[in-house]
Amino acid sequence: MTELTHSTGSGAAPGNWLARWLSACADLEDLFSHHHLLDATIEEIDGRRIRVGERWLIDFASCNYLGLDLDREVIEAIPGYLDRWGTHPSWSRMLGNPALYPEIEGRLTELLGAPDSLLLPTLTHIHASVIPVLASDGTIFVDSRAHKTVWDGCVAARAHGATVVRYAHDDPEALARLLRRHPKPPRLVCMDGINSMTGNPPRLPELLALARAFVRHLGETYDQLVLTGGFSKAYSSLLAFVACPPELKRLLKITAPPYLYSGPSPVASLASALVGLQVNEARGDDLRAVLWARTRRVLDHLEKLGAFTLNRSGFPIVEVPLADADDLAKAGRFLVDQGIYVTLAFYPGVPREEVGFRVQVTAANTDDEVTELLVALDRLADVVPLRRG
């Protein structure tokens, strides 16, 4: 435990360590203290409209992309599972697994076409525990823009003896050079599936071909891809997975602390994941078609406005950088005044030239709500210049 008044080193005044932390995160601290779009208390929701204080806003910050958090079929199924299992059977998975776990793993493995899968509560748990196991005392090559939780997993791996090397974002040539320079096995390449700020997928075929060529060169099996994913967004559940070969799953069951020692996901989350998988099978493509079309409207509108976005994939994460990073608080306040709730993209979460806001579209946003967003973007562009290229 940290003593709050502890001073470090050369005569620093008590409490200085706290002031140093706050000044290192000054941009964010300032936004937290003064902005409606951060650390807000949401009093009430009505579909994708949310009430903060007295103000109703349209929510373009939710990550429930398929709208399953509001789906009647999912909501109405949950009480039956609570009756059968209680709210939270607090065994670690090592001790005992409610039958929901193997049922979800079976369905998920089939959906992914993966050899096997293992569920743990969150991606944060998975990155912190699985990356050190896979990397051992070898080398990790990590995409410079990988999610913070991946970086934290790499730091944990380094403490266990791994070497961590960073390669330029989504750049196979840079990765190839580093793979030649760092031969120590095992070698692990870490990248995001869909980058959480750009909304874009990696150049996976090229990166995988590269990794497999190096693995083949060393005479090892080259079919070595481990996918991790979370249910916390599209499936609206506190649950995440590692899709991997069965032998790796066996290893993780005896080495990954969240399997051995953490509490499980709540029953409501296991139920929403399971029913969500059923809904996905029955209606997932329809939900994705709606989502795709609504996101397209936002992207087309930005293009018409001459505004730049990092999104070139069409996925529903649309980051809109401002011409001047110092306008961030003003832009956020303006959008709130227009009744629009978005995610602020602040430095150092994104590079300074990408400071702006992120619009997340979900299938539960209506077409009218998207229209209101587009009107608000037009008005915003008149008062806060958006980045053009």
Ligand X SMILES: Cc1ncc(COP(=O)(O)O)c(C=O)c1O
State which of residues 64, 109, 122, 265 lies at the interface with ligand X (CB under 6 A).
122
Q: Is 227 helix (H, G, I), strand (E, B) or coil?
A: strand
Residue 93 CB, nearest approach to ligand X (Å): 16
Measured from the Cβ of residue 114, the count of other Cβ atoms closer than 10 Å reads: 17
CB of 369 to ligand X, least distance (A): 22
Tokens matching residue 275: 């029913």
Among 71, 143, 192, 319, binds ligand X (CB under 6 A): 192
Closer of 189 and 240 to ligand X (Cβ): 240
**Where in 229-268 is the site for ligand X (CB under 6 A)?**
230, 232, 240
Q: How many amino acids of this chain bind ligand X (CB under 6 A)?
A: 10
Give every strand in the sheet of 163-167, ordered side by side.
Answer: 163-167, 139-143, 187-190
Contact predicate 245/115, CB 8 Å: yes
User: Shortest Cβ distance from residue 239 to ligand X (Å)?
Assistant: 8
Instruction: Determine the Cα–Cα distance for residues 87 and 152; give it in Å rounded to an integer.
Output: 31
Q: Choose which of 124, 139, 265, 365 interacts with ligand X (CB under 6 A).
A: 124
DSSP code of 147? -
Could you give phi then psi for residue 213, rounded to 5 degrees?
-60, -40
Q: Could you tell me the smallest distance in angstroms from the CB atom of residue 257 to ligand X? A: 15
Q: Which residue number, 98 or 202, has a Cβ lying nearer to ligand X?
A: 202
**Residue 243 backbone phi and psi in degrees, to 5:** -100, 125
Q: Which stretch binds ligand X (CB under 6 A): 118-126, 201-209, 330-338, 379-387?
A: 118-126
The least distance separating ligand X from the CB of residue 3, rounded to whole angstroms, comes to 29
Q: For ligand X, which stretch binds (CB under 6 A), given 13-21, 116-124, 163-171, 267-275?
A: 116-124
Question: Which tokens is 95 given?
Answer: 């001790």
Among 74, 118, 123, 267, binds ligand X (CB under 6 A): 123
The answer to the question of residue 272 lying near ligand X (CB under 6 A) is no
Question: What φ, ψ does residue 235 adopt, rounded to 5°?
Answer: -100, 5
Q: What's the rounded Cα separation, in Å, for the pair 161 and 130?
A: 14
The residue whose two tokens read 């409209």 is 49
Map residue 331 onto helix, strand or coil: helix
Cβ 341 vs Cβ 61: under 8 Å:
yes
Strands 139-143 and 187-190, by their bridges, are parallel
Shorter beta-carbon distance to ligand X: residue 196 or 311: 196
Q: Kindly tell me the burial class for residue 56, based on how many C-beta atoms sit within 10 Å of its own C-beta (0-12, 13-18, 19 or more).
A: middle
Of 50 and 239, the one with the shorter C-beta distance to ligand X is: 239
Helix, strand, coil shares, percent, the chain, to 5: 45, 15, 40
Nearer to ligand X, 317 or 384 (CB): 317
Site string for ligand X, 273-302 (x = CB under 6 A): ------------------------------
Structure tokens belonging to residue 174: 């840079």
Q: What character string, x for contact with ligand X (CB under 6 A) and - otherwise, covers 139-178?
A: --------x-x-----------------------------
Nearer Cβ to ligand X (149/269)? 149
* Least distance to ligand X, CB of residue 65, Å: 11
- In the complex, least distance from residue 149 CB atom to ligand X, rounded to whole angstroms: 5
Contact 190, 170 (CB under 8 A): no
Our CB check for ligand X shows the closer of 192 and 327 to be 192
Say which residue the tokens 């569920």 belong to. 119
Interface with ligand X by CB under 6 A: which residues?
A: 122-124, 147, 149, 192, 196, 230, 232, 240
